[in-house]
Structure 1
Amino acid sequence: MNPSQKNVESVKKPRPEFLILGGGIIGFAVAKELRKTEKEITVIDVDKTRVETLRQEGFNALLGDITDPDLYNIVDTRNLICVAALSSNDDANTKAVANFKAVVPDSVKIISRASDTLKKEEMMAAGSSYVFVPPLIVSKTITEYLDLIETKHIGNRLAQWMEEHRGITLGIVLHDNPDPDAISSAYALTEITKKFDIKADILYDGKVGHHENKAFINLLAIPMIKISGPEVFDQYDSLALVDNSIPSVNNSVPADQPIGIIIDHHSYADLEPSADFMDIRTNVGASATILTKYLQQMDIPVSKELATALLFGIRTDTNDFRRNTTSADFAAASFLHPLSDHDLLTQVETPSMSVETLDILSEAIRNREVYGTVLLSNVGTIRNRDTLPQAADYLLAMEGISTVVVFGIMDDSIYVSARNDDIRVHLGDVMREAFGDNAGGHPTAAGAKIPLGVFSSAKDKQILQKLVEESVVKRFLSAIGVDEDSENDL
């Protein structure tokens, strides 16, 4: 008779749904939690004292060596749902996983515990479907709690600033040609200011040109004021920058204008933001995520329209949670999802594409130049700069392409939009290196606005287009480290 079988005190074998191998601190804690669900549990451990303690606690505990290949014989496995190897011995857990993997059907899940990622890989190779690494779990839990402490601390500081400025007028300034993340974040900030009797207006410059952005503003009826000139800022007691941080950089605020509040998630290289209150978190995917946290912390009611706006803002800035997304973005979206109007969200997401967008997309496809996995396209003169990122997103889906740059001329500037799915490239850094301080962005999405300068004197449009194209292509390829002679057909 197998030694493990001698330890069974009853002829009738236990028939567990969950079999826990190792009754130490973690195994015992898991067994206690499972017992609350009234599941059939059996715990096996090699330590007699531990087994006796488990029995005194009312558990079905058996004495046995979890590395024994015949261990499965001491239980009836017909109802088995999961085997959990949770001892503190990595090698024992690995052997237990391999042994049970060989005898139980694939429908029975095998999970295990490992002390580090190296042992985790060994257990996965042995057949574990999931491996828990307690040090990583503990560190993640602590980090999330520290993040919560930081969020509360920053939120309290914002509330304190508003309390000290109760009753003032506040101009909330967006970056030029604002997107849903910026607009929804400003919308949320106006709701927060109401709690402190602060009258706030949302101010923007440029155009809201993207067809989705227009639908977003119209359907949600978000009030916004177009900036007519620098004198408009004198109408407010204080200003807030939302989804941007530096006066005069991609916004109409004078460079020397004092700022009361800055809330942003972008980095600006060597430029140093300055304000009475600042919350710049480059570790989240959207400014709307930051504002959602404020709303939760300050217990401010979130209307269906505001929830819909913020959710759309997070989704667009993270490219539907595929770009620069963090657990904070998912948590904010989870909070907003049940509060949102999903019929309205569908209308915002699926407006008809404008004729101009189709024309620019056609130009981008026709004028594309490919250098290895980098695609650049000059679309000529444009009336709406929001058509550029749409074209870049479309071209990035082409086979063999990992980086796309689309550019065109509007008024006295060259506008550049870039997209990237090569994890080795930080596109924002590349754009800054290529085009200076008026360029930047995220690892996978970036843009630039370049003054035409001396090029503007060119009277012939074709010559101007060629000069612009040569300059943009050369500077970008040099910054990303691609040989200009490597052009190929695609």
Structure 2
Amino acid sequence: MSIVAKDITATDKAKIKPTYLIIGSGSFGFALAKELRELGKDLIIVDKDKEKVETLREEAYEAIVGDASDPNLLDNMNTKNLAGILILSSDVEANKAALANIRTNVSKDVYCVARSPDAINMQEMEAMGADLVVMPPKMVSKSLSRSLERAEALHRGNKLSQWFESIKNKKLAIVTHNNPDPDAIASALALQYIAESFDVESDIVYHGEIGHQENKAFVNLLGIDLYRMGDIDIRSYDKIAMVDCSVPGANNSLPHDIPIGVIIDHHPIGDSEIDAEFIDIRPNVGASATILTKYLQELNIDIDSNLATALLYGIRTDTLDFKRNTDSADLSAASYLYPLSDHDVLEQLERPSMSIETLDVLGEAINNRQVIGSYLLSNVGSIRDRDTLPQAADYLLNLEGISTSIVFGVTEEQIFISGRSNDIRVNLGDVMKRAFGEDAGGGHATAAAAQISLGVFSAAKDRQTLLRLVNEAVVKRFLSAVGVEEAVE
């Protein structure tokens, strides 16, 4: 039986020409109908409830009585003019019947949306030809979660503003992790811009070296002022902020007992105890520069070309051009920064020359590699620039059969270890902590590092003995942490 044919009186012989057809006018269908009408779209609503149809007509909607499961539902409609059909009743079986009818009798070019109560029916409807399957509870939850994220961002922005208001006319040290990379430097620069907007004087402070040729080019081309920890008295500052690191003394040279004002970081903290007046740590985000970009937006602080270039480059390098540890927030921040950036500078940053030491370390890493299953470990011996290690680890990860690469080298006082992994079973950051200690190692699942004091090894009689002992200790600790007891020849 076709209820549609009985209900249409003035247009019995005419064909109805809607742009959008909505089948089912419950709360979900009616809300969408209101939105479409406000957008000036032509539409027609079908519902099996006669009283509801009458109410819709009183509100000037074009509505007809019809059952979603009726195979003759479309008989009096000119479906050639349909831009979209939305099957939104609460009866999933009726929706499936309507979908089957539409995909049999209507052009495949018509965009078809169907409502499903769960993922199982969603998959079935997709297989039946629905272009989009929606689950109202999931849509509501997503919308709510986005609203909560916006509210949380506003709350964080307000709290950071209040903190800066409380330290006006005071001197701030913005401390990065040791041997800072572009993400750390860009994040520190962004926080310096925020401090300046509140009339707070600040310095960016680091310990170690800016050795990687890309990092040197980054600082030089953008003219970023940095101060070495050894050249200043950190306790002379009124307040301390930490960016891209979160624990005093862990991969930075801050005293363990120094009070911290602000911590902004994206690295997982594990079991470490974090203490500061303001803390924002987001391990799901791929770069600290992303977090700082969001603050600049929330606080309506102008981002000039120099800062935009620094932040965009920081995000791109820490996410490996959005191929590693990337969140939608990173993509959103990069999209915002892209038109503001100096692309000539970005091009120069992306093509720095390779230093002789980098080439030497890469050669040592290849020659000294030890392969145990899918793990590759390489001791490159004495190094001057620790930034050569992650470059070597990145390169070695491309070798056939290798899922995790570990490259380590020795300075006069420290053992530096860098790792990369594409094995979904291995969380490299956790492995580094288990192998070399909570305060010595850490990072993300796919990229991590550690640095440990030479300690007892420094008593070795000669350099070769030292390097051999270091090699045995690092390899043994790492393999133990990943559950491999013996090296396989």
The TM-score with structure 1 as length reference comes to 0.91
Cα distance change on mapping 1:430 and 1:96 into 2, 3 Å = farther
* Amino acid corresponding to residue 373 of structure 2 in structure 1: G
The aligned counterpart of 2:306 is 305
- Corresponding letter in the other structure for 1:19: L
Bigger shift: residues 175-184 or 410-419:
410-419
Letter aligned with residue 112 of structure 1: A
Name the SS of the counterpart of 2:192 in structure 1. helix
2:317 is matched with which residue?
316
State the shift of 1:430 in Å.
1.2
Residue in 2 that maps onto 1:476:
478
1:448: Cα distance to partner?
0.5
Counterparts of 1:51 and 1:486 in 2: how far apart (Å)? 75
CA distance in 2: counterparts of 1:54 and 1:368, whole angstroms = 74
Correspondences of 1:245-256 after superposition (within 5 Å): 245-256=246-257
Closer, same or farther: CA 3–259 of 1 in aligned 2, 3 Å = closer
Following TM superposition, by how much is the alpha carbon of 1:432 offset from its aligned partner in structure 2, in angstroms? 0.5
Q: Distance in 2 between matches of 1:362 and 1:199?
A: 45
Task: Tell me how far apart the structure 2 counterparts of residues 129 and 279 of structure 1 sit (CA, whole Å).
Answer: 40
- % identical aligned pairs: 55
Does the 8 A contact of 1:265 with 1:282 survive in 2? yes
Paired residue for 1:173? 175
Partner of 2:356: 355
Partner of 2:58: 56
Shift of 1:106: 4.1
- Which deviates further from its counterpart, 115-124 or 457-466? 457-466
Determine the structure 1 residue equivalent to 2:185.
183
2:420 alignment counterpart:
419
Partner residue of 1:237? 238
CA distance in 2, matches of 1:361, 1:85: 60
Match of 2:76 among 63, 74, 77: 74
What root-mean-square deviation, in Å, do the aligned CA atoms of Structure 1 and Structure 2 show? Answer: 2.5
**C-alpha separation between the residues in 1 aligned to 2:263 and 2:391?**
28
Report the Cα distance in structure 2 between the residues aligned to 1:325 and 1:29, rounded to whole angstroms. Answer: 35
1: distance between equivalents of 2:391 and 2:109?
Answer: 45
| SS at structure 1 position matched to 2:202 | strand
- Report Cα offsets for 1:7-41 as digits up to 9, x if no partner: 44422323444332222222222223223444443
Q: Which amino acid aligns with 2:78?
A: D
**Residue of structure 2 equivalent to 1:87:** 89
Q: 2:93, 2:372 → 1: CA distance?
A: 50
| More divergent stretch after superposition (328-337 vs 294-303) | 328-337
Alpha carbons of 1:290 and 1:77: their partners in 2 closer, same or farther (altered >3 Å)?
same
What residue identity is the alignment partner of 2:171? T
Q: Is the 8 A contact 1:247 1:254 kept in 2?
A: yes
Q: Kindly tell me: are residues 62 and 486 of structure 1, through their superposed partners in 2, closer, same or farther at Cα, counting changes over 3 Å? A: farther
2: CA distance between counterparts of 1:435 and 1:344? 38
| 1-structure distance, mates of 2:195, 2:341 | 21
Secondary structure of the corresponding residue to residue 174 of structure 2: strand
- Give, as a single letter, the amino acid of the residue that structure 1 aligns with 2:26: G
The offset of 1:166, in angstroms, is 0.9
Q: Do 2:2 and 2:70's aligned partners in 1 also have CA atoms closer than 8 Å? A: no
| Helix, strand or coil at the partner of 1:101 | helix
2-side partners of 1:90 and 1:354: how far apart? 64
Q: CA deviation at 1:304?
A: 1.5
Secondary structure at the residue paired with 1:71?
A: coil
Distance of 1:395 and 1:7 partners within structure 2 = 73
Q: Which amino acid aligns with 2:179?
A: N
Cα 1:55–1:271 change in 2 (3 A) is: same
Q: Which runs of 5+ in 1 are unaligned?
A: none
The equivalent of 1:133 in structure 2 is 135
Deviations 1:396-428 (Å, cap 9, x if unpaired)? 334443322222222322211112223333221
Distance in 1 (CA, whole Å) between partners of 2:406 and 2:212 is 18
Matches within 5 A, 1:396-411: 396-411=397-412
Match of 1:428 in 2: 429
Residue 27 of structure 2 is matched in structure 1 by 25
1:227 to 229, 239, 242: 229
Residue 124 (str. 1) matches residue 126 (str. 2):
yes
Comparing 323-332 and 2-11, the one that deviates more: 2-11
Structure 2 stretches lacking a partner, 5+ long: none
Q: Does 1:344 align with 2:345?
A: yes
- 49-58 vs 256-265, greater mean Cα deviation: 49-58
Partner Cα separation in structure 2 for residue 349 and residue 295 of structure 1? 25
> Secondary structure at the residue paired with 1:73?
coil
Q: Distance in 2 between matches of 1:66 and 1:399?
A: 56
Q: In the alignment, which residue of structure 1 is the partner of 2:268?
A: 267
Separation (CA, whole Å) in 2 of partners of 1:16 and 1:365: 68
CA 64–165 in structure 1, closer or farther in 2 if over 3 Å, else same? same
Q: Which amino acid aligns with 2:123?
A: E
Q: Distance in 2 between matches of 1:111 and 1:362?
A: 57
1:193 to 192, 195, 199: 195
Shift of 1:200: 0.4
Residue aligned with 1:263, SS: strand
What is the CA–CA distance in structure 2 between the aligned matches of 1:146 and 1:228, rounded to whole Å?
43
Contact 1:16 1:41 in 2 (8 A): yes
For the 8 Å contact 2:28–2:136, the answer to whether it is kept is no
Q: 1:188 to 1:26 in 2, by over 3 A?
A: same
Tell me how far 1:138 sits from its aligned partner.
1.7
Measure how far apart 1:180 and its partner are.
Answer: 1.4
Checking the alignment, whether the CA contact within 8 Å between 1:261 and 1:278 is kept in structure 2 is: yes
Q: Does structure 2 conserve the Cα–Cα contact (< 8 Å) formed by 1:24 and 1:50?
A: no
Give the match's secondary structure for 1:254.
Answer: coil
Aligned: 1:204 with 2:210: no
Change beyond 3 A, Cα 1:177–1:22? same
2:201 maps to amino acid: K
